[in-house]
Amino acid sequence: MPTVTELTVLPRITRPKRVAAYARVSSGKDDMRHSLSAQISYYSASIQRHIEWEFAGVYADDPISGTKDSRAEFQRLLTDCRAGKIDIVITKSVTRFARNTLTTLETVRELKNLGIDILFEKENIHSLSGDGELMLSILASYAQEESRSVSENCKWRIRKMFEAGRPNTGRMLGYRLHGGKLCVVPEEAEIVRQIFADYLSGLGRIAIAKKLNAAGVPTMRGGPWTETTIHQILRNDKYTGDLLLQKTFRQDHISKKQCTNRGEMPMYHIENSHEAIIPKDVFAAVQAEIRRRAAILTPKNTPVTSYPFTGRIRCDRCGALYKRKYANAGSKYKRVVWICPTFNSLGKAVCDAQQIPDSILEAKAAEVLSLVKFDSDIFQAQISEILVPDHNKLIFIFRDGRQIGADWHNSSCCDSWTAEMKQAARERQLRIISERKQVL
């Protein structure tokens, strides 16, 4: 008769839940930055106090609006969730997570399908609970309406300031805002006057930027002088002592897209509102010179061509968007490349960026999209941006927040030679060797 052996049931070992926190503030002021720091410290300590939890990090955006989908840390959090690195996400409230109902619910549902719970502390809601999504839908709608109300109140306040002839910002080279009025900063005003004088003397915007960089003149934001910075100063009519307010406006509180005011909103013109740095006749002469040079460089009715990578490649060194150009123009090695405009105009002393052949961008885009051949429509539908963090490296940022890195290298010039070119090179080399032997 067989012997029955009693089996011992071992206790099931469960691994700790990997818990991450998401924190965000909506202002860049010092007290808000302190609030963000406090949130990070709080979550770090709180998660590590639970013995059944494993600390998976704090993702903190500092500071950017919750109505936007471009929050870098929020997107990194989603990427790590999709990669299976997180089991639970803790956040302060629905408003801290996102103020857009659609974004909130889409994110909650995606993470729910991945088995990831989101705990909203203030509302005490777990997204994996039975009534979690219903409560979130109601609260997210409320949060979105609150965001709209705050936006409208801000717009009303700014319009009232404009009606009173007061600018809503005064941080610009040459001026600071004191008591609602622009006041001249003498040392900065001299830089502005020199820029206008140099332009009228015949120097271009790039030449002026190079001159200021070489002299070590600081900019308002601490970076290098660029062609764009000089252009903005030359076009700024506030230097004449007048104010033209509400030249732009925000399209809505969700997208926050800034639009040029072409009559959709009232404008407010205040003459002699503050001390002028540039006389009006000098300013008018500069505007006429800008138009004259533009007419020479850009003929009328020249169509503007847009390419698949236009506005999508960003230099991680200086933040500029890459531009398309021809390298080795006029030679048999002519090819299309994309280049950082800062490097192109000011040199590697300011931005040590690297030009990237168009063919390589197409090949790498097809590779990360799992395509046999590059397709511009699929690329534009799925990729929001290509970041260039370092030499021979690309980061493709998808519209859903995913990021895929790709390495590349320049192919040798001989890789593009035809069979006839290679044969001619061989014959030339043999001829050189033969001539050397004859001399010896």
- Please list the residue range(s) of the chain that carry CATH number 3.40.50.1390: 17-149
For residue 99, pLDDT beyond 60: no
State the average pLDDT over residues 114-133.
Answer: 82
pLDDT above 90: percentage of residues in the chain: 28
Q: What is the pLDDT of residue 247?
A: 64
pLDDT tens column, 193-236: 999 999 999 999 989 999 999 899 988 877 788 888 899 999 98
Length of the chain: 440
pLDDT at 135: 67
Which of 112-121, 127-136, 195-204 has the least mean pLDDT?
A: 127-136
Structure confidence at residue 187 (pLDDT): 94
Task: Give the span between the Cα atoms of 88 and 18, in whole angstroms.
Answer: 6
At residue 67, the pLDDT reads 44
- Average of per-residue pLDDT values in the chain: 79
State pTM to two decimals. Answer: 0.48
pLDDT score of 170: 61
**pLDDT band for position 62 (50/70/90)?**
low
Average pLDDT for residues 332-337, to the nearest whole number? Answer: 86
CB atoms closer than 10 angstroms to residue 124:
8
Strand positions, DSSP E, 335-382 = 335-339, 356-357
pLDDT tens-place string over residues 47-57 = 888 888 998 88
Of 86-90, 173-177, 251-255, 266-270, the poorest mean pLDDT is in 251-255
Q: Over pLDDT 70: what percentage of the chain?
A: 71
Q: How confident is the model at residue 65 (pLDDT cuts 50, 70, 90)?
A: very low
CB 317 within 8 A of CB 330: no
Mean pLDDT of 298-304: 62
- Examine the pLDDT at 175 and tell me if it is beyond 60: yes
> What integer pLDDT is reported at residue 242 of this predicted model?
82
Distance CA 187, CA 191 (A): 7
- Which of 301 and 23 is assigned the larger pLDDT? 23
What pLDDT, on a 0 to 100 scale, did the predictor assign at position 26? 58
Task: pLDDT band for 30, please (50, 70, 90 cuts).
Answer: very low
pLDDT of residue 322: 94
pLDDT band at 409 (very low <50, low <70, confident <90, very high): confident
**Which residues are CB-neighbours of 114 under 8 A, at least 6 positions away?**
81, 82, 84
pLDDT tens per residue across span 345-354: 888 888 889 9
Give CA–CA dist 404/402, Å, rounded. 7
> How sure is the predictor about 427, in pLDDT bands with cuts at 50, 70 and 90?
confident
CA distance 313 to 401: 16
Q: Which residues of 30-61 are buried (b: 16+ CB within 10 A; e: fewer)?
A: eeeeebbeebbeebeeebeeeeebbbbbbbbb
Q: What is the pLDDT of residues 353-386, one digit of tens each?
A: 999 999 999 999 999 999 989 999 899 888 989 9
End-to-end CA distance of the chain: 101
Give start and end residues of each alpha helix (H) in 235-349.
280-297, 341-346
Q: Render the burial of 367-395: b for 16+ CB within 10 Å, e for the rest.
A: ebbeeeebbeeebeebbebbbbeeeeebb
Tell me what the mean pLDDT of segment 288-312 comes to: 81
Could you tell me the pLDDT band of residue 70, with boundaries at 50, 70 and 90? low
Of 307 and 246, the structure prediction assigns the larger pLDDT to 307
In the CATH hierarchy, which fold is given to the domain comprising 17-149?
Rossmann fold (3.40.50)
The predicted pLDDT at position 440 comes to 56
The predicted pLDDT at position 296 comes to 82
Highest mean pLDDT among 26-30, 149-153, 176-180: 176-180
Which of the following CATH numbers is that of domain 164-297: 3.40.50.300, 3.90.1750.20, 3.40.50.11030, 3.30.470.20? 3.90.1750.20
In the predicted model, is pLDDT for residue 89 greater than 90?
yes
Indicate the range of 128-142, 243-257, 295-309, 319-333 predicted with least confidence: 243-257
Q: Which residue has the tokens 């929020």?
A: 74
Q: Tell me where in the chain the CATH 3.90.1750.20 domain(s) lie.
A: 164-297
> What is the average per-residue pLDDT within 304-310?
84
Buried b vs exposed e over 276-299: b needs ≥16 C-beta within 10 Å?
bbbeeebbeebeeeeeeeeeeeee
pLDDT of residue 361: 95
The whole-angstrom separation of Cα 126 and Cα 119 is 5
